[in-house]
Amino acid sequence: MYKLLIVEDDAVIAKSIQNHMESWGYEAVCIVDFENVKKTFVEEQPHLVLMDISLPFYNGFHWCDEIRKISKVPVIFLSSASDNMNIVMAMNMGGDDFIAKPFDLNVLQAKVQAMLRRTYDFAGESNLMEHRGMVFDCGNGIITYEGNRIELTKNEMRILQELLEQKGKIVTRDRLMERLWESDSFIDDNTLTVNVARLRKKLEEVGIKDVIKTRKGIGYVVD
């Protein structure tokens, strides 16, 4: 089931879109915290965003730009401000389409369906994980933090994903080795230590310090 994130501050319009999309079998989530749209985006991991332009706190252009820093998820702008300048701005900020209000809900649904088909029929989905402002795209091995971006190796990706999935819990060295190689018979402690050290160094280079803590003789923990 595809999930849609509706970023619309008019509660009547948002609810009508939500109800219509759910009637077509989509999962639809309406933003309630307009000051932290990016945080909700990371938590919900939608397949597509429907974005109004005029919003409380920050406009839709701002949030589209923020989303584009961490994701290629399609964004369709919805706005009554349908002049050419707004359309150009929407596309320049990373939008994928623009629908002027008032619109027919069936037309909106058709556009959403077409966009989802084009985006996901031939492409894999990416999963996002967030921790203290760090966003980890574990599908593509990319971390973004305060405007900085780093790419991880396959082993670094697997280590970080396991630690984030078990956030707050100690992950043993044996478990990490099993995650990396599915068997501990081809790897030793020194190789794991090197991989963790390289991951820590990359994180520190973009300002993410002391995220991975060592529990001596046991393993590692992210808290």
Domain ranges, ordered by start, for the chain = 3-120, 128-222
Q: Is the pTM of this model over 0.95?
A: no
**pLDDT bracket for residue 185 (50, 70, 90):** very low
**pLDDT bracket for residue 184 (50, 70, 90):** very low
* Nearest alpha-carbon partner for 61 in 84, 81, 91, 28: 91
Same fold, 3-120 and 128-222: no
Fold that domain 128-222 belongs to in CATH: Arc Repressor Mutant, subunit A (1.10.10)
d(CA 177, CA 23): 45
pLDDT, tens digit, 9 for 90 and up, residues 53-63: 889 999 989 99
Tokens of 18: 């939500």
The pLDDT value given to residue 75:
92
pLDDT, tens digit, 9 for 90 and up, residues 107-154: 889 889 888 888 876 545 557 888 888 888 887 788 888 878 888 888
Share of the chain above pLDDT 90, in %: 33
CATH superfamily for 3-120 is Response regulator (3.40.50.2300)
